[in-house]
Structure 1
Amino acid sequence: MTDLVLVAGAWLGSWAWDDVVPELRAAGHGVHPVTLAGLAERRGEPVGQQTHVQDIVDVVERGDLRDVVVVGHSYSGIPVGQAAERIGERLRRVVFVDANVPTDGKSFASGWAGPAEFAAAIAANGGFWAPLTAADFVDQGLTDEQIARIVGGSTPHPGASLTEPAVLARSMGELPAMYIKCLLDGDEPRAEVAELLATSERWRRVDLDTGHWPMFSQPRELAGLLLDAAAA
């Protein structure tokens, strides 16, 4: 049995994996969807970038989980990548779902064309990144019902987790990793991901013909890829 730790992206909580979890548990795996501090039912808790890293590490260590697949979607690839490094021999594989990946000394905001403007927008919104509206989910393979579910469940994302830098002891290329690219969100991953895929023998790419939120648009197909990662 493998334990899968699932972490959704910005604005979302553990509830985002509700359609994926049954498929994984039916296959006999332990499944641990995570709500990061400051989001969903944990709204109001103090948060920094390393708080989110520790949230993930704590799930693994408190549960004494071993043979772990850690899954990060979108923003959460940044804390997930750091946590995957820190859990050491407990890690089986890290899976990035259309995700950002951490770079030592850089933040999520660093990857934006205007990081200063991004930080200013967060400051102007009381220290939070405002959730997307329904119009932002168009052409992402989602039904109106699925869009309403995401929008209705989203909470403002704590800005400190987006502007504080990642801390890494080694290259992400040393970790065994699967990168899932969601093609409706662009055919190619970000430059730092493309470099890892090109230079690391431990990284492999698989594609999903859907948008950036596959846990809603193609939960069964996403679960199948996660099962592949657990078996590899």
Structure 2
Amino acid sequence: MDIVLVAGLWLSGSVWDDVASALKALGHRPVPLTLPGQGDGSASATLDDQVAEVLAAVDSASERPMVVGHSAACTLAWLAADARPEQVAKVAMIGGFPSADGASYAGFFELKDGVMPFPGWSPFEGPDSADLDETARQRIEAAAIPVPEGVAKGVVRLADERRFDVPVVLVCPEFTPAQAREWIEAGEVPELAKAKHLDFVDIDSGHWPMVSKPIELARLLSAAAAA
């Protein structure tokens, strides 16, 4: 299966290198994306530009792909399902949840000079980063690309309720499936509360399993694609 891989904030498509290699060995065609403004040198990129990049990958797939979103990019994967509900075979979300219509895409951290730089490790102490050694932390921080304001402050627009028919698998790294179910049932994730086909998969990692456990993550994604 074609598997479109969309990284979260600050990360280019290279963060998927180890996962992509493992997916190829498992018989899939991984398509890791470097999003506009997150590796292509465009500081003026917008959320619409990033959505267009994901949709271009969906449209060029040789078959109906699974779209994988990590962290904030879970919203990008969900926007792809909204725009192409008949073309997206499944959405996998890793360590994040889709924003609702009208919400800001990623207003999480302070903007400086028109971009949102990586804030350092302080906001991610605890379960998010407990599995990362110093080498892994340095690798992530060295590769981090400031996110353009037009992306971070972009407004999410969802329009087609057929997105709720697209199967979703939620990969739970720094939180458990039980916690995720609790948040969804409490109304904190309204988009997933309406999903008609939602599965939960646990992975014993922090927020960046593509760095700390790429082989295990690839196997989970392969199993999700085959399910």
Question: Could you say whether these structures have the same fold, taking a TM-score greater than 0.5 normalized by the shorter chain as the test?
Answer: yes
Q: Which residue of 1 aligns with 2:45?
A: 47
2:62 to 57, 62, 65: 65
Aligned residue number for residue 163 of structure 1: 153
Distance 1:200 1:137, change over 3 A: closer
Aligned to 1:132: 119
* Shift, 1:154, TM fit: 0.6
Unpaired runs of 5+ in structure 2? none
Structure 1 residue 45, shift from structure 2 partner: 5.0
Query: Secondary structure at 1:77's aligned position in 2?
Result: helix
Give the residue type in structure 2 aligned to 1:27: L
Please provide the CA RMSD for this pair.
2.3
* Structure with higher helix content: 1
Does the alignment pair 1:146 with 2:136? Answer: yes
The TM-score with structure 1 as length reference comes to 0.85
1:38 lines up with 2:37 in the alignment: yes
Following superposition, the deviation at residue 106 of structure 1 comes to 1.2
Give 1:181's aligned residue. 172
Report the Cα distance in structure 1 between the residues aligned to 2:97 and 2:193, rounded to whole angstroms: 16
- Write the distance in 2 (CA, Å) between the matches of 1:206 and 1:39: 28
Shift of 1:169: 1.4
The separation in 2 between residues aligned to 1:68 and 1:27, in whole angstroms, is 15
1:225 aligns with 2:181: no
Q: 1:136 to 1:25 in 2, by over 3 A?
A: same
In the TM superposition, what is the alpha-carbon distance from 1:60 to its structure 2 partner? 2.2
Report what 1:115 is aligned to.
none
TM-score (norm 2): 0.86
User: What is the Cα deviation at residue 183 of structure 1?
Assistant: 2.7
| 1:91 corresponds to | 88
Sequence identity of aligned pairs in percent? 31
Deviations, residues 30-60 of structure 1 (Å, cap 9, x unaligned): 11000100112x0225311111110101122
Tell me whether 215-224 or 5-14 shows the greater mean CA deviation.
215-224
Residue ranges of structure 1 left out of the alignment (5+ in a row): 113-117
Inter-partner Cα distance in structure 2 for 1:86 and 1:185: 29
